[in-house]
Amino acid sequence: MSRWMPRLLSQPRSCSKACSYHMDKGFSRVYQRYLLNLLKANAARKLKAYPRLATG
């Protein structure tokens, strides 16, 4: 099993590289921007509701 391990561990890395390449193309960029704006809006709403959390 140990001789198979390096080959098994190297495959997800190459898969994630291809995935990140395709995430920066086409409609994925629009969806990514939508999700980031949604996260920013939620974070701003929560900071407004709980201002003491922002000061640490």
In order of 33, 36, 40, 53, 56, the CA distances from 22 in angstroms are 15, 17, 23, 36, 37
Q: Which domain holds residue 43?
A: 5-54
- Tell me: the pLDDT tens digits for 21-47? 777 778 888 888 999 999 999 999 999
At 11, the pLDDT band (50, 70, 90 cuts) reads low
Number of separate domains in the chain = 1
pTM, to two decimals: 0.52
User: pLDDT: is 43 or 18 the higher one?
Assistant: 43
Q: Are 53 and 47 in contact (CB under 8 A)?
A: yes
Q: How far is CA 39 from the centre of its chain?
A: 11
